[in-house]
C-alpha cells in the first residue's frame, strides 16, 4: 500500500525499460539469457512502446544496432546476457568504436555477491570491453540504473559518437527502488564539443584564399555532424575539388561537379595521385588512417595541412597539421564559408578530369562493360544505379565487393552508404542491413555481400523471416575469399592458401527461410533480375555468379605512396 506521497517502487529491470523509453528508444536488438531475464520479463509489458528484435546471434544484434544507428543517426541499442552473450557483442562494439557509431549495449551479469567467483556464465565484460568502448560501467544496485543509462546515452551520442556498455548484475535487476529519471546534460571532465579557435580560422581562411591547388578530403565527420548542407556550401564557394573516405561516402552527391572520388588503397586514380601535388590539403572529419595515406613518409609533404576535427586526439596522430581546427564541423564550416573568397580552380580541376579519363580507359570501362562471358561486380552495381533512383540505402560487407560498391554505387542522399570501415568486419552486412531497414522502413535497403562474409552471419536470415524485413540481398559469388585471393595473386605468386570456397546451395538455404530467391549466371538476365528484386515487396535474395579471379583496381600496395597507385 502506497502511503501519502510515497511512490510505488519498481524493479531495476523495469527501470531499465523506463530509461530506454525516456530516451526515445522504440527499437532494440538482442538475445535473452539467464542473467538478463528480468529485463526481458519487463520488456514483455511494453511491447507496443518498445519493440524488441530477436536476432539469431548476439553479434547479429550489435551489427543490427549499428546499421540502425548509421541509417537513422540515432543511438542504436542492443542487449545480451552475461558470459558468452556479452563476449559475442565485442566484435560489433569494436567495429562501432573505430567507426564512431553511437551504441548503448546492455548486458546482464551474475549477482553482485558472485562477482569474481567464476560463477556460471560470468566474464569480466567491463575489463574486456574497456579498450573498445567510449565508456563502460557496471551496475551493482538498482539505484544506479537511471544515472548510468542517462550518462550512457549522453556519452554515446555526444561529440565524437561511440559505443558504451552498461553491465547490470542480476540482483540489481530484481531489486525494488523508487525510480526517478533525469536526462544527463554533461560533466566537468568531458567537453564533447570544443569551442573552435577563430584566430586559427583566420589563418585557414588566408590559406584557402591564396591556394592554387587545394584539395579537400572529407570523412564521416561531415555526416555525424549533420553538416552535409554546410559542407556543400563551403566547397561550392571555395571551388575546391573534394574526395571522400569510404565512411564519408554519401555526404556529397556522387554526381556533384566537385566530387572527385574515393581516396585510399582502392580509391580513384586522380585524388590519390594529386594528393601529392596539391599545395593545400584540407581534411574534414577524417582521421588519416593508413588505408587513405599509404606510406606516411611520402604523404603530402609538399602541402600545408588543415585538419578540421572534433576529437583533439586525432590531431597530429598520423599526419602533422599546420593548421588544426578543433571543434564542431557544423559550426566551423559556415564561419569559413562566410569569410573566404568565392573562387574556382578550372586548371587544377582539369587535372582531375584528365586523370579520371585515364582511369576510365584503363579500369572503369572494362569493369562496367566486360567483353568476357563472366559477369563483373561493377556491372551489377552499375545496373542498380540504372534501375533505381540512387536514393537506396546500400549496406556492404568487407572484401572486393565492398570496394566495388564504394567505387561504383551512386548516392544522392546522406546516410545511405553503410559499411564496416576501420575494423573491416566480415559478416557485418546482413545484420546491419536488417537494422538499417527497421530504422528506415520506407527506404529501399540493399545488402551487397560476398560468399565469404555471408556465411559468417547468414543465420540472421531467420531474423528476416520472423520479422518479414524487406531487405534486398545481392550475393556476389566468386567462390573465393576474393580480396585475400587478389593479394595472393599479386604478392604471393598465386599461392591460393585457404581462399577457395566450396559453397553450399545458397538458393536452397535461403528458400528454407521463406525468402524469395533467384540466381543469375548470364548477362542477358542480369538487369531484369535486379529490377524484379527491387520491385518485389518483401525480402529478396539474388545470387550473381561473378568472375572468380577478377581484381579490384586501382590499387595502392602496402608501403607505397598514394602517388604510386596502380591502374593494373
- Listed residue (126, 118, 129) closest to 168, CA to CA: 126
Last-in-domain residue among 320, 352, 384: 352
Active site residue 120: yes
Residue 565 lies in a domain: no
Quick one: cell of 553? 583496381
Cα gap 551→236, rounded to integer Å:
35
Q: Do residues 108 and 33 lie in contact, with contact meaning Cβ atoms separated by under 8 Å? A: yes
Do 142 and 85 lie in one domain? The reply is yes
Query: Are 425 and 475 part of one and the same domain?
Result: yes
Which of these three, 121, 145, 177, is where a domain ends?
A: 177
Domain assignment present for residue 555? The answer is no
From the candidates 134, 160, 170, 410, which is the catalytic residue?
170
Question: pLDDT truncated to tens, each residue of the chain (568 aa)?
Answer: 334 334 789 999 999 999 999 999 999 999 999 999 999 999 999 999 999 999 999 999 999 999 999 999 999 999 999 999 999 999 999 999 999 999 999 999 999 999 999 999 999 999 999 999 999 999 999 999 999 999 999 999 999 999 999 999 999 999 999 999 999 999 888 999 999 999 999 999 999 999 999 999 999 999 999 999 999 999 999 999 999 999 999 999 999 999 999 999 999 999 999 999 999 999 999 999 999 999 999 999 999 999 999 999 999 999 999 999 999 999 999 999 999 999 999 999 999 999 999 999 999 999 999 989 999 999 999 999 999 988 899 999 999 999 999 999 999 999 999 999 999 999 999 999 999 999 999 999 999 999 999 999 999 999 999 999 999 999 999 999 999 999 999 999 999 999 999 999 999 999 999 999 999 999 999 999 999 999 999 999 999 999 999 999 999 998 999 999 999 8
Q: Which of 426, 483, 501, 555 is catalytic?
A: 483
- Which helix (DSSP H) or strand (DSSP E) does residue 405 occupy? helix 400-408
Which of 120, 320, 491, 492 is flagged as catalytic?
120
| Burial of residue 568, with CB atoms counted within 10 A of its CB: 0-12 exposed, 13-18 middle, 19 or more buried | exposed
Catalytic residue among 121, 459, 466, 507: 121
147 carries an active-site annotation:
no
pLDDT at position 6, please? 44
Task: State whether 117 and 264 are in the same domain.
Answer: no
d(CA 183, CA 185): 6
Q: 432 near 63, Cβ under 8 Å?
A: yes
Closest CA to 292 of 333, 255, 247, 258: 247
- Cα–Cα distance for residue pair 212/283, rounded to 1 Å: 17
Has residue 229 been placed in a domain? yes
Return the C-alpha cell found at 91.
566484435
pLDDT at 189: 85
Domain count, the chain: 3
- Do 331 and 388 lie in a common domain? no
Domain boundary (145, 177, 209) is at: 177
Supply 32's cell numbers. 535473452
3-state SS track over 459-507: HHHHHHHHHCCCCEEEEEECCECHHHHHHHHHHCCCCCCCCECCCCCHH
Indicate if 383 and 526 belong to the same structural domain.
yes
Tell me the backbone φ, ψ of residue 100, rounded to 5 degrees: 55, 50
CATH number for 341: 3.40.50.1220
**Residues 350 and 357 sit within 8 Å (Cβ to Cβ):** no
Estimate the crossing angle of helix 12-22 against helix 145-157, to 10 degrees.
30
Name the residue with cell 519487463. 42
* CB burial string 312-343: b at 16+ within 10 A, e below: eebbeeebebebbbbbbbbebbebbbeebeee
Spatial separation of the C-alpha atoms in residues 514 and 464, rounded to whole Å: 9
Range of the domain at 408: 375-545
C-alpha 550/C-alpha 292 separation (Å) is: 23
Residue 539 φ then ψ, to 5°: -65, 150
Domain membership flag for residue 364: no
Tell me the CATH number at 451.
3.40.50.970
Identify whether 438 is a catalytic site residue: no
Going by C-alpha positions, the residue among 423, 429, 421 that lies closest to residue 446 is 429
What's the confidence (pLDDT) of residue 265? 94
537 catalytic per annotation: no
Q: Residues 395, 315: one domain? A: no
Q: Which three cell numbers stand for residue 526?
A: 542480369
**Same domain, yes or no: 140 and 230:** no
Helix (H, G, I), strand (E, B) or coil at 43: helix
Question: Does residue 262 carry a catalytic annotation?
Answer: no
Do residues 345 and 380 both lie within one domain?
A: no
| 181 C-beta neighbours (distance < 10 Å), count | 16
**Cα–Cα nearest to 78, from 133, 141, 140, 144:** 133
Same-domain pairing of 531 and 452: yes
The answer to whether residue 568 is domain-embedded is no
DSSP character string of 85-146: HHHTTHHHHHHHHHTT--EEEEEEE--GGGTTTT-TT---HHHHHGGG-SEEEEE-SGGGHH
- Residues 348 and 383 placed together within one structural domain of the fold: no
Q: Do the domain assignments include residue 189? A: no
Q: How far apart are alpha carbons 50 and 536 in whole angstroms?
A: 29
Backbone angles phi, psi at 566, to 5 degrees: -100, 140
What is the structure's pLDDT at 7? 73
Query: Does any domain span residue 357?
Result: no
All 3 cell numbers of residue 81?
546476457
Residue 422: the pLDDT is 96
187 is a domain residue: no
State the DSSP string of 246-271: TTTTTSS-TT-TTEEEE-STTS-HHH
Residue the block writes with cell 587544377: 348
**Same-domain pairing of 219 and 317:** yes
Nine-digit cell at 397? 560487407
Which one of the listed residues 18, 23, 29, 58 is annotated catalytic? Answer: 58
The C-alpha cell of 566 is what? 596502380
Helix (H/G/I), strand (E/B), else coil: 316: coil
31/130 same-domain check: yes
pLDDT, position 2: 38
Amino acid at each position: 500500500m502506497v502511503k501519502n506521497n510515497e511512490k510505488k517502487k519498481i524493479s531495476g529491470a523495469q527501470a531499465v525499460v523506463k530509461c530506454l523509453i525516456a530516451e526515445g528508444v522504440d527499437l532494440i536488438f538482442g538475445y535473452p539469457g539467464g542473467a538478463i531475464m528480468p529485463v526481458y520479463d519487463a520488456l514483455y509489458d511494453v511491447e507496443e512502446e518498445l519493440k524488441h528484435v530477436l536476432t539469431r546471434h548476439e553479434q547479429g544484434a550489435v551489427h543490427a544496432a549499428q546499421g540502425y544507428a548509421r541509417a537513422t543517426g540515432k543511438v542504436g541499442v542492443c542487449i545480451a546476457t552475461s558470459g558468452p552473450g556479452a563476449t559475442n557483442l565485442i566484435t560489433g562494439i569494436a567495429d562501432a568504436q573505430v567507426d564512431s557509431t553511437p551504441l548503448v549495449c546492455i548486458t546482464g551479469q551474475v549477482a553482485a555477491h558472485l562477482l569474481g567467483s567464476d560463477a556460471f556464465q560470468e566474464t569480466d565484460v567491463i575489463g574486456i570491453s574497456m579498450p573498445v568502448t567510449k565508456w563502460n560501467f557496471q551496475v551493482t544496485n538498482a539505484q544506479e540504473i537511471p544515472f548510468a543509462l542517462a550518462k550512457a546515452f549522453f556519452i554515446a551520442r555526444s561529440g565524437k559518437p561511440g559505443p558504451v556498455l552498461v553491465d547490470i548484475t542480476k540482483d540489481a535487476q530484481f531489486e525494488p527502488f523508487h525510480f526517478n529519471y533525469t536526462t544527463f546534460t554533461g560533466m566537468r571532465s568531458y567537453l564533447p564539443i570544443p569551442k573552435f579557435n577563430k584566430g586559427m580560422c583566420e589563418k585557414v581562411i588566408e590559406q584557402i584564399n591564396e591556394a592554387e591547388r587545394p584539395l579537400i578530403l572529407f570523412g564521416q565527420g561531415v555526416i555525424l555532424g549533420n553538416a552535409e548542407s554546410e559542407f556543400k556550401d563551403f566547397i561550392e564557394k571555395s571551388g575546391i575539388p573534394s574526395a571522400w573516405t569510404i565512411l564519408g561516402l554519401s555526404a556529397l552527391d556522387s554526381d556533384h561537379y566537385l566530387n572527385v572520388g574515393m581516396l585510399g588503397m582502392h580509391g580513384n586514380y586522380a585524388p590519390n595521385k594529386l594528393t601529392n601535388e596539391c599545395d593545400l590539403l584540407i581534411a574534414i572529419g577524417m582521421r588519416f588512417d593508413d588505408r587513405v595515406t599509404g606510406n606516411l613518409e611520402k604523404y603530402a609533404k609538399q602541402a600545408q595541412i588543415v585538419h578540421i576535427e572534433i576529437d583533439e586526439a586525432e590531431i597530429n596522430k598520423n599526419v602533422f597539421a599546420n593548421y588544426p581546427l578543433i571543434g564542431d564541423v557544423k559550426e566551423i564550416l559556415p564561419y569559413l564559408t562566410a569569410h573566404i573568397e568565392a573562387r574556382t580552380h578550372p586548371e587544377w580541376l582539369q587535372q582531375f578530369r584528365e586523370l579520371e579519363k585515364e582511369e576510365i580507359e584503363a579500369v572503369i570501362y572494362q569493369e562496367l562493360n566486360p567483353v568476357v562471358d563472366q559477369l563483373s561486380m561493377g556491372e551489377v552495381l552499375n545496373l542498380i544505379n540504372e534501375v533505381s533512383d540512387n536514393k537506396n540505402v546500400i549496406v556492404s560487407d568487407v572484401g572486393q565487393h565492398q570496394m566495388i560498391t564504394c567505387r561504383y554505387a551512386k548516392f544522392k542522399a546522406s546516410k545511405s552508404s553503410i559499411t564496416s570501415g576501420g575494423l573491416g568486419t566480415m559478416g557485418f552486412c546482413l545484420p546491419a542491413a536488417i537494422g538499417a531497414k527497421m530504422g528506415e522502413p520506407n527506404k529501399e535497403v540493399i545488402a551487397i555481400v560476398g560468399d565469404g562474409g555471408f556465411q559468417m552471419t547468414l543465420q540472421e536470415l531467420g531474423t528476416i523471416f520472423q520479422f518479414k524485413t524487406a531487405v534486398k540481398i545481392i550475393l556476389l559469388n566468386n567462390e573465393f575469399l576474393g580480396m585475400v585471393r587478389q593479394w595472393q595473386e599479386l604478392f604471393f605468386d598465386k599461392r591460393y592458401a585457404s581462399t577457395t570456397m566450396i559453397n553450399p546451395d545458397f538458393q536452397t538455404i535461403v528458400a528454407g527461410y521463406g525468402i524469395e530467391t533467384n540466381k543469375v549466371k548470364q548477362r542477358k538476365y542480369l538487369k531484369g533480375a535486379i529490377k524484379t528484386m527491387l520491385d518485389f515487396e518483401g525480402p529478396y535474395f539474388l545470387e550473381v555468379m561473378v568472375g572468380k579471379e577478377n581484381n579490384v583496381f586501382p590499387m595502392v600496395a602496402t608501403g607505397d605512396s598514394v602517388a604510386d597507385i596502380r591502374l593494373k
